[in-house]
Amino acid sequence: MTRTLRVDPAVVLEIREAVRWYEGREAGLGARFVTQLDEAMGRAAALGPDCRPAVGVDPALGVRRVLVRQFPYVVFVVVVEPHVRVIAVAHGRRRPGYWRPRLR
C-alpha cells in the first residue's frame, strides 16, 4: 500500500540546498539527484522492503530510512496514518541526527 507523502518545510529547504550544490558541481547533476530522490521517496511511501528502521533511534518512534541511490543521502520518514511524513533528506555523513528534534 502506497501512502501519501507529507514533506516537512525544512525538508524542502534541504532538497533545494542539495540540488543547488550538485548543480554547482556539474550541470544536470542536481536533476539526477532529484530523480533518484523521487524514486527513494516513492519507496518510502510504499514502505517497501528497503525501508528499514533508522539506526540509533528508539524503535518505538517508528522512524524508517531509505537510501538515495547513487548519492550519499538518506530519506528519514515516519508513518502518521494515513500519510508518510518525510522528516529529513540528510547527507549520510554530515551532522548525524540533526533532524531528531523534528520528531516532536
In the CATH scheme, what is the code of domain 4-103?
3.30.2310.20
Q: How far is it, in rounded angstroms, from Cα 78 to Cα 59?
A: 11
Cell of 19: 540540488
pTM above 0.75, yes or no: yes
CB-CB contact of 42 with 36 (8 Å): no
SS (H, E, C) 24-62: HHCCCHHHHHHHHHHHHHHHHHHCCCCCEECCCCCHHHC
Strand partners, 73: 91
Of the candidates 104, 99, 103, 41, which has an alpha carbon nearest to the alpha carbon of residue 78? 103
pLDDT in tens, 11-22: 999 999 999 999
Domain definitions of the chain by residue range: 4-103
Would you state the pLDDT for residue 36? 98
pLDDT in tens, 31-62: 999 999 999 999 999 877 668 888 888 888 88
Q: What is the mean pLDDT of residues 89-95?
A: 91
Would you state the pLDDT for residue 79? 86
